[in-house]
Chains A and B, each alone.
Chain A
């Protein structure tokens, strides 16, 4: 029996108090997010089967470009942002035992985001805005497209500010002191989102006015600078949210507690200060910017934000290792890892997301974000290969992993088809690995992104271009990987939607593994010999990872030096 008092209920699994008005908003945002994921995934299937040249499914380039644009908008913006707003509502109310500040306003935010996102999808798919989601001026698009995108952005900005106000309000009233680390990560994501959305508005408002005919000219270089403050910034929001979720999943599944609370928070603060400078990565080979403006930004201020990421890359597995060792799993260097709960979807999603992001997405991003190496990566398939490793294999899978907890608890239904959920992260991860390998190889061989047909049929001038037979093999590998990953994505949609609509109703819904430590108050750490490493297995793994980073970094400089032209 659920305790229901005055618009609150108490969760029977976690003991958290849930504001019912926040709960309904979480439901709507989460369901909308999953619908966009399913839509974007369908588009992904069509695109992959077209770029696999042997299949070349979509015959009409106009439709191909429409769908590439709509895929980007549905996935990079709508799936992610609706899910993040659901997360912010959860982290800003439920986790803090706090009330939603202004439920009516929150519905207005949701309405704006929904209407704006639908406007964007309709204009893109109906051919009124075949400009990709980047819409670089002076490409022409309908004012309804820019207007819709702005309505969405303002709705999202209000939602983010609402979250920040919730947190600040709860602190002022003395209801919370220091935030839990997970909520702190969400706060960091929200702060990053404010800069992101303001920069986006600064880019999109002039573009919108131009589409209306109010102004004549938008400077293409300034637009790119401001747009990427939004386009890339949005992915940094994902980064902070994803890392928060990694910490949360580590606590939920094995009872992990960060080995040094202050260090983890410091790493997040490095994000707040410097991660947004990475937006420069998109405009490194553009005219107009000097070497130091590019270099200081491209390096996130001398790689300070990368240092933040490398801290998380260490402290998350270390905290898992320490938690496992405290449970008595002390055999050898990696006994704690062998005996980890590999069958729990939350843990599987955490590990697959963490490894794919850290090894493939993170390292590739830092390397190709170098101002010179970017010359051999810019606008080739290497770029989408990189960000599919971060946003899809990393962020999306982390979001899937946490929703195996949040969806049953919020909807109070048993997780639907738990055996499918158990395999889902592995299928999805394997698909993304194959996909990324194929796409990255094709990009390395010079294949451009957002391109309808790299065989250039009937174009004499292009004879001999992109003729390396490895290219066709790489694109086939990419498409096969996409098919596997889309299968994994569909498995997620079935589990999530099945839980919402078909799961057995229960006040104590069956969710994955919940370690009692996850919801227990702070407690002393187990004593350990200060002359030895506390997490020796993690030290070993992290050292191997860093060695790989150094190796790939060196290989990339070597590749740049192999360009036969001298460029100055």
Chain B
């Protein structure tokens, strides 16, 4: 005879008892579901998905990263908006994107269908890279570089919002990426055919 007890009193002396039909059924079903979710995340999506988090990470001195970003801007700058440089990197190349209070530098002009290796870091504090309207998000840490391969499949204007609190001007920290149609010159000498 199985004894049961209120949760507020000590259980019977022998409280380890075999599972009933209800619990056996539920435990089996949920264990299968738990395993299925794990397999989906670690094995299935890495094989079939187009949005992965397998980006490379590096360490960097923030000042060194600043220097690399400035060199990148100098090499490929085509314009400026509100004092923020606009850069059109060669298709398929490396892109430096730096967060600092309270801007993302530079503004980028990319070409649809091309793959760019984004090297993302911060000069000062932590920031958040939130690309809209697609809404995908990465954390940006000073001293660390996230090297993310990104391919825009559709042309258009994209915004980068900072979504990690970084100080009193946090809500004014916005960057931009303009993606031009495939094969079309981006009205700049920075783009090679």
Listed in ascending order, the chain A residues whose CB lies under 8 Å from chain B are: 61-62, 65, 95, 130-132, 136, 138-139, 176-182, 219-221, 224, 244, 247-248, 250-252, 255-263, 265, 283-289, 291-292, 294-295, 298-299, 302-304, 306-307, 310-311, 314-315, 318, 366, 370-372, 374-380, 444-446, 448-454, 456, 459-462, 464-466, 468, 517-525, 530-535, 538-539, 542, 546, 549-550, 553, 557, 560-561, 563-568
Contact = CB atoms under 8 A, between A and B. Distances in A.
Interface stretch (B64-72, B143-151, B182-190): B143-151
Nearest to B103: A461
A446 B130 contact: yes
Given A220-B144, A379-B137, A263 B34 contact: no
A565 B15 contact: no
A517 B139 CA distance: 52
Contact of A132 (B54, B161, B163, B165): B165
Given A180-B11, A376-B135, A517-B6, 9 more contacts: A256-B7, A257-B6, A284-B53, A287-B139, A311-B30, A372-B52, A379-B128, A523-B5, A567-B52
A289 B138 CA distance: 13
10 contacts: A65-B168, A256-B7, A261-B12, A283-B139, A287-B58, A291-B46, A311-B30, A446-B130, A446-B161, A452-B170
A531 B52 CA distance: 47
A524 to B, nearest CB: 5
B30 A257 contact: no
Given A557-B45, A561-B50, A567-B50, A180 B135 contact: no
B159 A375 contact: no
Instruction: List the 5 shortest-distance A-B pairs measured between CB atoms, nearest first.
Output: A448-B163, A303-B34, A522-B5, A287-B57, A566-B151
Contacts of A224: 139, 141
B41 A371 contact: yes
Q: How large is the interface on B (under 10, 10 to 19, 20 to 34, 35 or more residues)?
A: 35 or more
Nearest to A375: B136
A298 B125 CA distance: 26
A180 B8 contact: yes
Given A259-B22, A446-B130, A462 B153 contact: no
A448 B19 contact: no
Nearest to A179: B10
B143 A220 contact: yes
A459 B4 contact: no
Contacts of A304: 34
Nearest to B132: A446
A265, A299, A304, A448: most-surrounded residue (chain B CB, <10 A): A448
Given A366-B37, A380-B137, A567-B149, A307 B30 contact: yes
Contact of A314 (B26, B45, B55): B26
A306 B8 contact: no
Contacts of B21: 530-534
B29 A521 contact: no
B23 A314 contact: yes
B164 A258 contact: no
B184 to A, nearest CB: 18
Given A372-B45, A567-B51, A251 B6 contact: yes
Contact of B134 (A284, A461, A522, A563): A563
A379 B130 contact: yes
B152 A252 contact: no
A292 to B, nearest CB: 8
B16 A262 contact: yes
Contacts of A311: 26-27, 30
Nearest to A367: B37
A226 to B, nearest CB: 14
Nearest to B5: A522
Interface of B: 1-13, 15-17, 19-23, 25-27, 29-31, 33-35, 37-38, 40-42, 45-46, 49-55, 57-58, 81-82, 84, 107, 115, 124-126, 128, 130-139, 141-146, 148-154, 157, 159, 161-172, 174-176
Which applies to chain B's interface (DSSP): helix, strand, loop or mixed?
mixed
Contact of A138 (B54, B125, B152): B125
Given A379-B128, A448-B161, A248 B7 contact: yes
A470 to B, nearest CB: 12
A466 B174 CA distance: 12
A539 B142 CA distance: 51
Contacts of B175: 461
A468 B132 CA distance: 11
A461 B138 CA distance: 20
B10 A524 contact: no
A246 to B, nearest CB: 9
Given A62-B168, A287-B57, A311-B30, A567 B10 contact: no
Contacts of B35: 302-303
B20 to A, nearest CB: 6
A500 to B, nearest CB: 23
A379 B84 CA distance: 25
Contact of B49 (A284, A539, A561): A561
Contacts of A284: 53
A179 B15 CA distance: 11
A333 B57 CA distance: 55
Given A259-B23, A379-B130, A303 B141 contact: no
Contact of B17 (A244, A262, A445, A542): A262
B126 A220 contact: yes
Contacts of A257: 4-7
Contacts of A522: 3-6, 9-12
B5 A521 contact: yes
B9 to A, nearest CB: 5
Contacts of B55: 287, 567-568
A132 to B, nearest CB: 5
A238 B149 CA distance: 39
Contact of B20 (A298, A534, A564, A565): A534
B17, B130, B170: most-surrounded residue (chain A CB, <10 A): B130
Contact of B153 (A139, A445, A564): A564
A256 to B, nearest CB: 8
A259 B4 contact: yes
Contact of A291 (B9, B17, B53, B152): B53
B137 A375 contact: yes
Contact of B133 (A453, A468, A530): A468
A136 B125 contact: yes
A532 B132 CA distance: 53
Contacts of B164: 136, 379, 450
Contact of A303 (B19, B37, B163): B37
Contacts of A565: 51, 131, 134, 136, 150-153
A530 B22 CA distance: 10
